[in-house]
Structures are given as C-alpha cells and as structure tokens.
Amino acid sequence: MDKLKIMLVDDHVLFRKGLRDVIAMEDDMVVVAEASNGREAIELAVSSRPDVILMDVNLPGIDGIEATRAISEKLDSASIMMLTVSSLDEHLFEAIKAGAMGYVTKNVSPEALLRNIRGVRDGEAPLSRAMTAKILNSFREDAKEKAVNRENNITRRESEILELLAEGARDREIAEKLGIAENTVKKHVQNILRKLHVNNRTAAAAAAANMNRKRV
C-alpha cells in the first residue's frame, strides 16, 4: 500500500518539526513537503501533490484560507485540514467554505492527529457539531434559490449516495450498501460535487442535509 503523502504548512519551524517527528514514526504516511507561508504552500502543493495538507489558518502574506481556496481550485486530490489554536476560531468557517475538509486544534494529542489524518484519507471530516451547524445554516441561506435546480440535476443513484454522504458513510460503506464498486462510488461523488458546485464531501453532505430539511 502506498504511503499517505502529507504536506505541512505552518510558519513556526518548531511546530512543523513536531508534526514531522510524529508522522515519521508511522509506517503508512510520509511528509513530502513543508511550507512556511501561503504562497509556498500553493507552489509546493502543485509540485508535490500531497494526499493530505495540514494548513495553519494564520500565515504571513497569503493566509491559510486563501491558500486553501487556491489549492482546492488547482488540485482535487488533496484533502486540506486546518490547524488552529482554538476550535472557536472565527476564520474556520471561511476555511471550510474555501475547500478545507475539517480542522484540528494545535493542542490535539498525537494519537488524535494521526486518527484524523487517516480519517480524512478515508473520506471522514473532522468537524465539531457547532461547525456543522454553521455549514448547514450557510447552505440554508445561500442555496435557497438554487436548491430546486440542483436537485433536478441529481440522478436517483446520486441522490442515494448523497443521502449516505450526509450520514457520514465512507466510499467503501456506500459501495457495500448499494452493491456497486467503490470506484463507481468515487465517480458518482465527483459528479455530485460538480453538480452542487462544492469543493468537497463535507460541503456536499451539508447541502444534502439542507435539501432534506426543505422536504420536511
């Protein structure tokens, strides 16, 4: 099995070293790039093509949110997790909207960090209930006029997958439940993201929950 490629983005050298040392002890992942600011992050993400990016919210020059947005537009294969001092950081919601899959706080235990990295690889999204609620509220406000048209573009199979995404199911679980190949699920998910005009599964799941609420 190929190692999970990780990129670290933080302007504090000692903090990056700590992350690198933790990841270096794992057999299934490797640090392939490090950046100290947003501009470097964008350039290195394109050249190193990591699977997971740990991105500090506050960076000099181009901040973590803008870097996340730029990387999400250039790479659809990289999952971005924000690094933050507090889960109450007001910028986190904007980062999720920009394309981040979730976030971890900088005081997280090494075990929890590694669990979250592997979870993102498997399609999970490390989000608090409060952040999930913010995402749902945003979709209720921003997608009112577009929801009906979007739903009409979703096929029956895509609708089934979207509902399972909203429940937090992984690709493998969706494939087993629907009796289709995992690669087929991945293709459907990409079509769903394109039709809903969102960058990741977290936003798609939030859109699905919003649609379901509208039907009630």
The pTM of this model reads 0.66
Q: Does 34 share its domain with 89?
A: yes
CB-CB neighbours of 26 under 10 Å? 15
Q: Residue 194: in which H helix or E strand, if any?
A: helix 182-196
Answer for the pair 210, 198: CB distance below 8 angstroms, yes or no.
Answer: no
For 54-69, the pLDDT digits (tens) are 999 999 999 999 999 9
Q: Which of 88, 108, 127 marks a domain boundary?
A: 127
**14 and 120 in a common domain:** yes
Output the pLDDT for position 15. Answer: 94
3-state secondary structure at position 8: strand
What is the average pLDDT value for the chain, to the nearest integer?
Answer: 82
Residue 175 shares a structural domain with residue 123: no
Residue 159 domain boundaries? 134-215
**Predicted confidence (pLDDT) at residue 149 exceeds the cutoff of 50:** no
Q: Which helix (H) or strand (E) holds 85?
A: none
pLDDT above 80: residue 136: no
For 19-74, how does the pLDDT look when each residue is reduced to its tens digit (9 = 90+)?
999 999 999 999 999 999 999 999 999 999 999 999 999 999 999 999 999 999 88
- pLDDT: which is higher, 210 or 24: 24
> Are residue 199 and residue 97 in the same domain, yes or no?
no
Last residue of a domain, one of 104, 127, 150: 127
Q: Tens digit of pLDDT for each residue in 88-102?
A: 767 888 888 888 888
Using the predicted structure, report yes or no on whether residue 145 has a pLDDT greater than 50.
no
**Dihedrals phi, psi of 213, to nearest 5 degrees:** -65, -35
Q: Tell which of 98, 127, 156 closes a domain.
A: 127
For 109-141, b/e burial (b = at least 16 CB within 10 A) is eeeebbebbebbeebbbbbeeebbebbbebbee
What's residue 9's pLDDT?
Answer: 97
The CATH number given to whatever domain includes residue 192 is: 3.40.50.2300
